[in-house]
């Protein structure tokens, strides 16, 4: 258990120390009014306390990600703990903090608008499409899973369950953020925390041993560690989906100093949840081979149910059902909400988008393809979520890097993670079955070359901004 507890301690220390360093680099100003006040419309822009924002952010970015992703990532063994810690502290939490704070500084702007400001109009155009596609994929994938379980537990058919879930999606998307999301989602966030903590305590006091990282289990046979682990465990380490959700909460913040607790804090909490579920997956089934056999029986939902009911009894069974149904639904609806906000922001440049009927029209426009995709096989959808998700994360990190370069601040805190994630997504694109499905070694060569090209671009930007700063010129990179 030493590796597990060591990872847990490092996550906590990461929040205590590194989050404050990141906050100092960004430079907060509590005297500056936030969009929750300057653009208050009692719909998307409305002030809420930081603790609500933290739990809402946690629920929005989590869903079943830190559970299902952690269980799948546990197949790689204890090395997954290392990726969760390093990815979460130095990449994921930094990514989430900058996505939220840059939205705050830009009047609650959505992710594509922020990208356009710092990376240019060309990248902005592409990211509009990619981010909306990602939102629809997430909404669809996080609908299909709960609908299947509802159909198994009730007289409702799969189609009827999907219709009910999408009806709920429309309701939440069309209501002010403080009506359902602000009132009930902190409670569901609490359930997510309670479930994981209960599992952790029961696991520690059981006879099952959480494996430590050793040379023997560093690389399980048949599973290429790079870059698959970094895509399999995304929500608990770094996930591009988060930067599409951060503006929702950024529009409700009362002051800038709340950002560290909300964005960085929620990501560290998700890292802890992921760590717990990865440990449970390894320990409960006595290693990666047992976990692989359990996944072959009924997938991640079967594993979650077995762990929960065995360790927590009836309470565990109830929590498992609630978790597998409610958690993805509460992420799916905010995915639809954020896609509505992104598309509305885009269309507002050409049309007057005020009025509830126009909000409804945009929501239905997005809900229709999401509803269709929800009828497609869940595992097929999730395969395409992975790479798209990490591509969006990479773009967000480069956006933050260009912001820091422009402001003459310490850009390495986002630049190094951005370069690392560039290597992840390029290698994955060429190697993965849902990508180009090329030979592994050839994929590494091509991915390495493309990463080198991006590194040269990054160095050129550093030189450019250093010259401009020395001349006292502040130039927008776009």
- pLDDT tens-place string over residues 232-273: 888 889 999 899 889 999 999 999 999 999 999 999 999 999
Give the model confidence (pLDDT) of 390-410 as tens digits. Answer: 999 999 999 999 999 999 999
Residue predicted with more confidence, 178 or 382: 178
Yes or no: say if 474 and 116 are a contact pair by the CB < 8 Å rule: no
- The segment with the largest mean pLDDT, out of 2-6, 33-37, 68-72, is 33-37
State yes or no: pLDDT of 130 exceeds 80: yes
Looking at residue 353, what is its pLDDT? 67
3-state class (DSSP) for residue 80: helix
Average pLDDT value for residue range 346-354: 74
Q: CA angle at residue 166 from 248 to 375, to 5 degrees?
A: 115
Give the CA radius of gyration of the chain: 21
In percent, the amount of the chain with pLDDT more than 90 equals 40
Q: What is the pTM of this model?
A: 0.90
State yes or no: pLDDT of 76 exceeds 80: yes
Angstrom distances, CA of residue 184 to CA of 67, 191, 195, 245, 277: 21, 11, 17, 17, 24
DSSP state of 74: G
Domains of the chain in start order, with CATH, are 2-394 (1.20.1740)
Q: How confident is the model at residue 326 (pLDDT cuts 50, 70, 90)?
A: confident
Distance CA 280, CA 308 (A): 10
Give the model confidence (pLDDT) of 146-179 as tens digits. Answer: 887 788 778 888 888 888 988 888 888 778 888 8
Give the model confidence (pLDDT) of 328-346 as tens digits. Answer: 888 888 888 888 888 888 8
Q: CA angle at residue 354 from 351 to 356, to 5 degrees?
A: 125
Q: Which two tokens stand for residue 8?
A: 């847990």
Average pLDDT value for residue range 49-63: 88
What's the whole-number average pLDDT of the chain?
A: 87
Q: What are phi and psi of 377, to 5 degrees?
A: -55, 130
Q: Quote the distance between the C-alpha of residue 375 and its chain's center.
A: 23
Looking at residue 383, what is its pLDDT? 66
Yes or no: say if 268 and 61 are a contact pair by the CB < 8 Å rule: no
Distance CA 423, CA 431 (A): 12
Peptide bond into 227 cis (omega under 30): yes
In percent, the amount of the chain with pLDDT more than 70 equals 94
Average pLDDT value for residue range 113-118: 93
Looking at residue 478, what is its pLDDT? 47
Average pLDDT value for residue range 45-65: 88
State yes or no: pLDDT of 217 exceeds 90: no
State the DSSP H helix or E strand holding residue 395, giving kind and residue range, or none if neither: helix 378-406
Looking at residue 378, what is its pLDDT? 58
Looking at residue 476, what is its pLDDT? 57
Distance CA 97, CA 86 (A): 16
Angstrom distances, CA of residue 134 to CA of 29, 174, 239, 325, 471: 33, 20, 11, 21, 41
């Amino acid at each position: 258990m030493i590796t597990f507890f060591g990872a847990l301690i490092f996550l906590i220390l990461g929040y205590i120390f590194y989050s404050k360093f990141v906050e100092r680099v960004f430079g907060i100003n509590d005297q500056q009014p936030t969009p929750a006040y300057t653009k208050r419309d009692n719909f998307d822009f409305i002030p809420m306390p930081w603790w609500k924002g933290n739990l809402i952010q946690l629920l929005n970015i989590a869903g079943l990600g830190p559970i299902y992703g952690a269980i799948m990532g546990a197949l790689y063994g204890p090395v997954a703990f290392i990726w969760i810690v390093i990815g979460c502290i130095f990449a994921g939490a930094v990514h989430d903090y900058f996505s939220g704070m840059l939205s705050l500084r830009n009047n609650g702007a959505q992710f594509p608008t922020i990208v356009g400001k710092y990376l240019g109009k060309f990248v902005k155009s592409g990211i509009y499409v990619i981010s909306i596609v990602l939102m629809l994929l997430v909404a669809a994938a996080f609908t299909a899973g709960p609908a299947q379980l509802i159909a198994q537990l009730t007289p409702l058919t799969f189609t009827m369950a999907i219709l009910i879930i999408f009806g709920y999606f429309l309701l939440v998307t069309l209501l002010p953020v403080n009506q359902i999301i602000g009132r009930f989602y902190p409670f569901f966030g609490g359930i997510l925390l309670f479930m994981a903590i209960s599992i952790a305590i029961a696991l520690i006091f059981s006879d099952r041993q959480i494996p430590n990282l050793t040379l023997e289990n560093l690389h399980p046979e048949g599973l290429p560690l790079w870059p698959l682990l970094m895509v399999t465990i995304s929500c608990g380490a770094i996930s591009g989906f988060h930067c599409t959700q951060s503006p929702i909460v950024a529009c409700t913040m009362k002051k800038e100093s709340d950002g560290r607790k909300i964005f960085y804090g929620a990501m560290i909490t998700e890292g802890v949840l992921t760590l717990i579920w990865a440990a449970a997956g390894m320990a409960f089934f006595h290693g990666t081979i047992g976990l692989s056999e359990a996944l072959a029986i009924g997938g991640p939902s079967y594993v979650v149910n077995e762990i929960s009911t065995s360790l927590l009894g009836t309470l565990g069974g109830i929590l498992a059902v609630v978790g597998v149904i409610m958690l993805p639904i509460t992420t799916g609806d905010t995915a639809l909400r954020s896609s509505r906000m992104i598309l509305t922001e885009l269309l507002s440049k050409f049309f007057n988008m005020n009025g509830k009927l126009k909000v409804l029209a945009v929501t239905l426009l997005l809900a229709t393809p999401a509803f269709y995709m929800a009828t497609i096989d869940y595992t097929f959808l999730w395969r395409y979520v992975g790479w798209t998700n990490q591509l969006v994360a990479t773009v967000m990190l480069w956006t933050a890097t260009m912001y820091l370069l422009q402001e003459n601040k310490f850009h390495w805190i986002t630049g190094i993670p951005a370069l690392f994630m560039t290597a992840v997504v390029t290698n994955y694109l060429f190697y993965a079955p849902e990508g180009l499905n090329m030979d592994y070694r050839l994929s590494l060569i091509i991915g390495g070359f493309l990463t080198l090209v991006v590194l040269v671009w990054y160095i050129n930007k550093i030189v450019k901004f250093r010259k401009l700063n020395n001349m006292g010129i502040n130039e927008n990179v776009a």
